[in-house]
Amino acid sequence: MDEIDHDHVMAFRKHAESKENSRLTADWKAMRVNKFVKVTLGLADGKGPIKKSDLGKMKPNGPPKIYTKSQIEAFFKACKPDEELRYLTLYEPAFARMN
């Protein structure tokens, strides 16, 4: 584990991107590998093989997709009861301040 260095993690990131992952997805995968190495070796914050700054800006590309009311209703109608509860738990607080 202690042989995994900056070059290994960056090569993994490049490999992840070549497998039709977006740049953001490849960056997050590299960060998870970095975190695993850091925790396994008991390293302090900022002492892993890579730093977040090595990856550049980690922001989604483009604006968020906004669904119509009918699309949202169709989505919740297609959900099983336990799925509906999970998604409503996330969906409703997002709009609490809009009222």
Whether the predicted pLDDT of 5 surpasses 70: yes
| pLDDT tens track for 16-35 | 999 888 888 999 999 999 99
- Candidates 19, 15, 21, 55; CA nearest to 35 is 55
The rounded distance, in Å, linking the Cα atoms of 63 and 71 is 18
Share of the chain above pLDDT 70, in %: 95
Closest alpha carbon to 26 in 37, 7, 12: 12
Per-residue model confidence as pLDDT tens digits over 56-78: 887 777 788 889 999 999 999 99
